[in-house]
Structure 1
């Protein structure tokens, strides 16, 4: 007598639908993070020394809205960057910011990513980003990517 499974075709179809749902969510996130909020998306670009961005807004580039207000290690010896985000556009926007932590000689120690949702025009948001890697000595914090999406 052949063995039968308790699950049959319903599980196979349900599994396929689950995989398609996960793929759809991932695609939606990639489109949201990589988009500029208006117009077609473009490949990530940066100025010679500025952070990468998916935005093609040259009048108000997203990187111009983000500054590193402080850079230190916390009590757990994790690197922390204190950021200020000011929305210089005319629409509420969500920001996605990546920060690289290095030692003074430029060796990469870690990276952190933070988002700030629905920042209104002119609003200043203060936020922190960190990594869970223990570091010792002096560190430097550098914004490596800023994406802004109209909320």
Structure 2
């Protein structure tokens, strides 16, 4: 038998000779898959954290504070408020002259029967009532009857005269 050359167009080039390399596989699917897995893991961790720290207090957990009551009536003239919003008083409200950041000094008194953690939302408004910035302060393991001083620090530069208002107080048993 004689050796015959393959017909043109039949089969590919012999091994090791020319031809395009195989296409690269995209890793976009892996990136999307691992991103979804990461988000799911974060949600699970957050749910577990909330379940581990929540509940058990004898008063309602979240009650928004009335901004009108905080702004218009001095704390010393208001009746004692029910729930966690009555536990927080603004003791100072100012704009730092160097950084021009607003801050509110808060005095938290735990009036519940259990050691509690607090998260307090504060807003900084100008004379017309326009919100200029907001801040959050938190404190943990405040025993019944114990007081805690914390600062809600804004991060926006403000040049106007401000008023501080408590917009929300969250208290939960620690």
The bucket for the TM-score relative to the shorter chain is 0.7 to 0.9
**SS class of match (1:89):** coil
CA separation of 1:67/1:8 partners in 2, compared to 1, >3 Å: closer, same or farther?
closer
The residue number in structure 2 matching 1:83 is 106
Measured in 1, the distance between the counterparts of 2:143 and 2:61 equals 24
Larger Rg: 2
Pick aligned residue for 1:126 from 131, 135, 149: 149
- Pair 19,79 (structure 1): closer, same or farther in 2 beyond 3 Å: same
| 1:144 maps onto 2:167 in alignment | yes
Q: Contact between 1:50 and 1:144, CA under 8 Å: does it hold in 2?
A: no
SS of aligned partner of 2:122: strand
For 1:62 and 1:21, how far apart are their aligned partners in 2? 32
Residue 70 of structure 1 pairs with residue 112 of structure 2: no
**CA 1:45/1:31 → structure 2, altered by over 3 Å: closer, same or farther?**
farther
Name structure 2 gaps, 5 residues minimum.
1-21, 71-80
Q: Do residues 111 (structure 1) and 134 (structure 2) align?
A: yes
For 1:54, the equivalent position in structure 2 comes to none
Tell me which residue corresponds to 1:135.
Answer: 158
The answer to whether the aligner puts 1:22 opposite 2:45 as a matched pair is no
Count of residues in correspondence between the two structures? 141
Q: Which residue of 2 aligns with 1:100?
A: 123
Shift of 1:31: 6.6
TM-score by length of 1: 0.74
For residues 89 and 65 of structure 2, what CA distance do their matches in structure 1 show? Answer: 16
Q: Normalising by the residue count of structure 2, what TM-score does the alignment of the two structures yield?
A: 0.66
Aligned-partner Cα distance in 2 for 1:12–1:103? 45
User: Are the counterparts in 1 of residues 67 and 166 from structure 2 also a CA contact under 8 Å?
Assistant: no
8 Å Cα contact 2:65-2:167 kept in structure 1: no
Q: CA RMSD in A?
A: 3.3
